[in-house]
Structure 1
Amino acid sequence: MSELVVYGATAAGVCAAVAAARHGVAVTLLEPGRHVGGMVSGGLGYTDIGDPRVLGGMAAQFRAAVADHYGTDRYAGPEPHVAERIFTRWLTEAGVAVEFGAEVPAMTDAAVYIDASYEGDLMAAAGVSYRVGRESRALHGESFAGRTEPAPGKHQFPPYLNPFARDGSLLPLIDPGEEAAVGEGDGRVMAYGYRVCLSTAQDRIPFTRRDGFRDEEWELARRWLAPGPPDDVVGLVQNLPNGKCDGNSIGPLSLNLLDGSHQDYPTAGPARRAEIVRRFQEYTRDFLYFMASQGRLDGWGWAADEFDGGLPHQLYVREARRMVGSHVLTQHDLTATPQHDTVAMGSYHMDIREVRRTWRWVYEHPDPIPSVYNEGYLSVPVRPYQIPYRSLVPRYNECRNLLVPVCVSASHVAFSSVRMEPQYEMLGHAAGLAAVQALKKNVAVQQIDTRALQDQLHDEGQVLAL
C-alpha cells in the first residue's frame, strides 16, 4: 500500500502527489473521473490570480511550464488539453500511480491521506466536521456573511422584470425556495456552472438544438433580452491561445444555473450528483443554443480539439463542503490577521458569485410590481494575506492522518477568496510536503514541525510573506 493516498486529481491533488513523490514517498492518486487537473484542465484556463507577487511554489512552476509550452517568457492561460498534458507529465516523471474511476477510499492508520476533491467526500467519510454554504454574520462576526440584499450591477436584472407566466405560475430558471432574513445563514452555496472552451477557428462546431430542449424554459431570457442588453453574455474574449476563449458567466442570466438545482450537490450521493450534473449539462447546451439563436454568439462555436468538441469534463463546483478544522479562516484573517504558520498566500477578491435567483414585490404606486432579482453576489478587494497550516488539518480529536487543501477550514466569506486554482496548487504543494514530514517522523499531521515545513516550502519557491 502507498504511504500517501491522495483523493481527487484536481490541480491541488496533482501538486500534492507530485510534491510528495519528489521526496521519495510512494503515492497513489485516486480520481473518481477520467482526467487530471480538475478545473484547470476542465475549462478554467483563464484563471483569476489577484496579486501575482503571492504566486510561488508549484503554482509558479505550472505557469512556467505553460509559458515554456507556448515558447514565450510570459504566462498565458493554457488551452485545457495543454494543462492536462503538463499535469500528466508531472505525475509520470514523479512516479505517481494514478487510478481513475476510484471510489472514496477506506482510511487506515497505515498511511497519510489528502482529500483534494472539490466536494470533501473523503473528509466527510473520515468523520471530520464541516459546514456547507452561508453562515450567519453572528457566527464569526463577519460583515459580509449571511443572506444579502440584492444590489445593482452587471449580474443583476433591470427592475420590474416579471417572474410569472400568463397562467400565474413562476417561470423556469427561478428558485422558488424560502428566503432567510438578511444576515442569517441559510446553508446555500454560490453558483455552479461550466466554463466552456469556445473557438473562432474554421473547424469550430456550431451550437445545435438538443433533443429535449424546452422552449418555455427561456421565456425569462426573452424578457431580459427584449430591451437589448449588452451583447456579451459569455465573455467572448480570445483569452486563450489559438483563437479560443474560456467562457465565463457574465450577466444576470448566464452559464450559471440559479434555479436551486445545485444546492443538494455538496452532500449528495453519486446518483443524485449525477442527476445534478446532467441538469447542468443540458442547461449549458440549451443556453448556448438559445443565445446563438438570438445572434449573441456569432462567429463562435465549440472548440473542435477540446473535450471532443463539447462540454468540459468538470463541473465548476465553486464551493461544497468546508472543513471545520484546527483554525477557521475568516473575513478577519483576510483583512488584518498575520499567521505564524503560513504555508501559502492569497490575494484575490472575496468573490462570491450569485447564490440564487428569486423574486419580490416592489411596492410602487399604485400597485406592487413583481420583480426578478439575483442575490448573493459579492466582490470585495483584499490585500495579500497569509493562509495558515492549521486551516489544512482537522481537529486533533477527529482525525490525525488527513490533510485538506481544497475544502479548507474557512468561512463561506473567506473561502470565496481562497478558492482560486493557483491557491489550490500552492496549498496542495504544502499538503504534500506536510504529508512527507508526518510519514517520515511518524507523527500526526497536527504535530509536524511547521517551521521546518515553511523552510522547505521557501526553498521550493513558495511565497510566505511580502
Structure 2
Amino acid sequence: MTFQRSLLTLTLTALCGVPLAAQAEKETPKAGAKAKASAENKKTETYDIVVYGGTSGGITAGIQAVRMGKTVVIIEPTKFLGGLTTGGLGATDIGNKKAIGGMSREFYHRVWQHYQRDQSWVQQKREDYVAKRHGGNTPNEETMWTFEPHVATKIYDEMIAEAKVPVVYGERLDLKNGVKKDGTRITEIVMESGRTFAGKMFIDATYEGDLFAKAGVSYHVGREANAKYDEKLNGVQTGHARSHQFIKNVDPYVVPGDPKSGVLPGVQKEAPGEEFAGDHRVQAYNFRMCTTDVPENRLPWPKPANYDEKNYELALRNVEAGDGRLSWNPVWMPNRKTDTNNNFAISTDNIGLNYDYPDGDYATRDRIIQQHRDYQLGLMWTYANHPRVPEKIREHFTKLGLAKDEFADSGHFPRQLYVREARRLVSDYVMTEKNCRRLEIVPDSVGMGAYNMDSHHVQRYITKEGFVRNEGDVQVGSRPYPISYRSIVPKATECTNVLVPVCLSSSHIAFGSIRMEPVFMVLGQSAATAASLAIDAKVDLQKLDYATLKAKLDADKQVLDFESPAKPMVESLDKAKLGGVVVDDVDAVLTGFESHGASATPFIGAGYAHDGNAEKGHQKAVFRTQLKEAGQYEVRLAYQALANRASNVPVTIRSADGVKTVKVNQKEKAPIDGVLYSLGSFKFEAGQDAVVEVSNEGTDGHVIVDAVQWIKK
C-alpha cells in the first residue's frame, strides 16, 4: 500500500499531454461534502477483524476472516486493491513454487483458468506464449505465474465479491492520533476523515506498517550490522555488490574531474560506510511498468513536463563510456506485454532517494512517489530519444511503450510504487539469514519463503579512484524455509491484538527473500486464521495454541514445510584457512564478470562471479598479488562446476617463467576440495607481480571466477 493521492490529481500532461481533470474532480470532495462526511464519520464502525491495507496480504486476510465466520472490513487508503500484484508485478517471484499453498495458490490457479479461455488472448495466440514457457508457468499443475495487471484486478474483485468482504477505499490512518489503545490492546483506529473502526483484532497488511508503528510496537528501518544477528549478507556490502554494476569508469562530478564542481544527481558525497556495518538506508524502489511492442496498443514514451537533462547526465556518460547493455529487464507477460524491472548500472531503480519514505508523513511519501515517477519516465524518454544515446539503444527502447489497455486511470503508468522494504517489526523472533539457509528452522510455521536473499542497491558513491559505483545489491540463494508465527505478532508487552503479515519481524537480508507477493498472500491468510482462532479462544495472540493454529492451516492446504530437518550447508570456505596466498574474486580487477552467484557450492568467500555466458571476448578477471618469497609455486584456480559451464576457459599465468595459457574445463568438478584446480607449477620472484588472468574469449558456456591460490612448493 502506498499513499498516492497525488497521482490521481496529476494531469496526464506530465505523462501523455491529456488532463485528468475529471478524475481529480471525483477524488476531491467539496468543502460542504467534507463537513457532511465528517459528521457521518463520528459513528464508530465495529468488526471482529479490521484489516488495514488492501495489498495481496490484506485481501487474503479479509477473505479468510469471512470464511471463518468473522465480520471483517478491509480499509484501503488508495482507490485500488492488490498492491504490487495488480500494480504491474506480473512476473511472480517465489523460487520454489512448491512452497505456495492455500489461497495464494488458489489465486494462481484462477490466473491459469483465465488464460485457458480463448477470449483472454487478444494480442497473441495462447500456444505461442505457452510454447516459450514464459515465467516458468506450470500447466500440468493448473497454475500460472505470469499475468497482466488488469487480470489480477479482475480475479481479486471476483474473490472479494464471492466472499462478500466489505472494502472501504480512500481512507488513510491519522498518523498523529489514529490508534487508540487500552493497555496492550488496540480498541479502534481513526482515519484522517474522522471515520473510526473498532475491532477485536487488527491486521496491518500495508507495505509501510503505519498501524502497528503508531500502536507503539517496536520496528526497524534500514540495514542491520552483520554482527547484530550473526549474519554474512547484511549491512554495507561494497565487496559483494557486483551485480547491476558499472562496468565502465564514469566520472561523477558536474564538471568532469573537478570535485569542487559538486556531484551529479543520484551520487552521494559521503563514503559508503564501514563494510558490514548497519545504516539507515533501504533498498531502492521503482515502478514495475507494463509495456508492449504491439503498435496498436503502445504509447510512445512521454517526455515529462519537468524533464531536466542533468538528472540523466550519469546515464548519458555511462552509455558514452561504452556501456551498451540494455538497462532494464522486460519480462514477457501474456498478450505481448511485459513486467519491466530494473537491470544493470542505471535503470528504473531510483537509488538513494527513498530513505525518508518508511517513516515519512503522507506529504513526504507523495513527494518521493512523484520523484520516482518523474525519474523513471524521464529515463525511458532519454534512452529512447536523446541524441547522446547510441542509436542501437534508442531503437530498442522505442520498440516498447506503455500499454494503452492497462492503468487507464493513471495515464497507463502503474499506480503502485514498488516499496521493496520499509518498516520491519521487531518481535520476540526475528527471521534472519540463518532461516533462509535452513541453518535454523522454526517450530511454529505459518507459511514458507523460497526466493533468493535479494537486496537491490541502496546507494551510489564515489570510489577512491574517483569513479561512481553502486552498493547494496545482494543476490544469494535460499532454500525453502518456514516462517515463524512469532515473526508476525509483536511482543506481548507492546500489543496483543495486531498481526503484521507484510512488515514482519525480519532482518534486512532475510526480508529480501520473504518480501514476495505470494508469500504475503500466504501470511495474510495465516494472520486472519490466527486472529479468528484467538477471538474464539478469547486469548491474546501470543497465547494462541500453535497446535490448534497448525491444524487449521493444514486443513486450508497451507504449506508449512517440506524440507526438514536442517541439512548443514558447507558452502563458504575461509580463504585464511586454505593456506598459501589467496586472492578472492572481490579483490580481483574485473572487466565484466558482473553477475554474482552463490548457489553452487562450495565457494571461497561470499560467492563467485561469472560472465553470464555473454559478451564473449570482452570480459576478463585479473588476480594479482606480490609474493614475499621467491620460489616455485603451485597455482590453483577456484571455480564451481556445473553442466552449463564452459569446457575451454583460457587462464593465463604470468610468472618468472614467462606467460603460459591453460585451458580449464569447468564442466568437470575441481579435484581439490571440490573447488580448486591446479594450473601447474611456476617460478615467481619476491616482490614481483604474480598475475593470473581469466578470460571468456571463445568460451562455450558460463565462465566462473572465484579465487586464485598460490602455494609455495
- Structure 1: gaps (5+ residues): 363-369
- Equivalent residue runs for 1:25-424 within 5 Å: 25-71=70-116, 73-104=142-173, 106-107=179-180, 108-109=186-187, 110-151=199-240, 153-166=242-255, 168-177=261-270, 179-201=272-294, 202-237=296-331, 239-258=332-351, 260-293=352-385, 294=389, 295=394, 296-308=396-408, 309-335=411-437, 336-362=439-465, 370-424=466-520
Residue aligning to 1:454: 550
Measured after TM superposition, the shift of residue 74 of structure 1 is: 4.4
CA distance in 2, matches of 1:132, 1:163: 28
In structure 2, relative to structure 1, the CA distance for the partners of 1:334 and 1:74 (3 Å cut) is closer
Counterpart residue identity of residue 371, structure 1: F
In structure 2, relative to structure 1, the CA distance for the partners of 1:120 and 1:178 (3 Å cut) is farther
Measured after TM superposition, the shift of residue 125 of structure 1 is: 0.7
CA distance in 2, matches of 1:122, 1:216: 39
- Equivalent residue runs for 1:412-451 within 5 Å: 412-451=508-547
Residue aligning to 2:604: none
- Structure 2: gaps (5+ residues): 1-45, 117-138, 181-185, 188-198, 563-713
Task: Confirm or deny: 8 A CA contact 1:150 1:373 kept in the other structure.
Answer: no
CA distance in 1, matches of 2:240, 2:321: 20
CA distance in 1, matches of 2:156, 2:365: 26
In structure 2, relative to structure 1, the CA distance for the partners of 1:360 and 1:349 (3 Å cut) is same
Measured after TM superposition, the shift of residue 357 of structure 1 is: 1.0
CA distance in 1, matches of 2:293, 2:86: 20
Deviations 1:99-138 (A, max 9, x none): 1111225344342000000000001011000000101111
Residue aligning to 2:585: none
Measured after TM superposition, the shift of residue 180 of structure 1 is: 2.1
Task: Confirm or deny: 8 A CA contact 1:198 1:247 kept in the other structure.
Answer: yes
Measured after TM superposition, the shift of residue 380 of structure 1 is: 0.6
- SS of 2:398's equivalent in the other structure is coil
Counterpart residue identity of residue 540, structure 2: A
Task: Confirm or deny: 8 A CA contact 2:240 2:474 kept in the other structure.
Answer: no
* Comparing 72-81 and 216-225, the one that deviates more: 72-81
CA distance in 1, matches of 2:267, 2:321: 20
Task: Confirm or deny: 8 A CA contact 2:241 2:470 kept in the other structure.
Answer: no
CA distance in 2, matches of 1:151, 1:158: 15
Counterpart residue identity of residue 51, structure 2: V
Measured after TM superposition, the shift of residue 298 of structure 1 is: 2.7
CA-based RMSD = 1.5
Measured after TM superposition, the shift of residue 179 of structure 1 is: 3.1
CA distance in 2, matches of 1:267, 1:440: 35
Counterpart residue identity of residue 217, structure 1: N
Identity across the alignment (%): 38
Residue aligning to 2:663: none
The alignment covers a number of residue pairs equal to: 457
Deviations 1:179-199 (A, max 9, x none): 321111112110111111101
- SS of 1:114's equivalent in the other structure is strand
Work out which structure has the larger RCO, using CA pairs closer than 8 Å and 6 or more positions apart in sequence: 1
Measured after TM superposition, the shift of residue 149 of structure 1 is: 1.4
TM-score, structure 2 length as denominator?
0.63
Task: Confirm or deny: 8 A CA contact 1:150 1:376 kept in the other structure.
Answer: no
TM-score, structure 1 length as denominator?
0.95
Measured after TM superposition, the shift of residue 347 of structure 1 is: 1.0
Task: Confirm or deny: 8 A CA contact 1:15 1:429 kept in the other structure.
Answer: yes
Counterpart residue identity of residue 284, structure 2: A
Higher strand share: 2
In structure 2, relative to structure 1, the CA distance for the partners of 1:439 and 1:152 (3 Å cut) is closer
CA distance in 2, matches of 1:332, 1:129: 22
Task: Confirm or deny: 8 A CA contact 2:241 2:474 kept in the other structure.
Answer: no
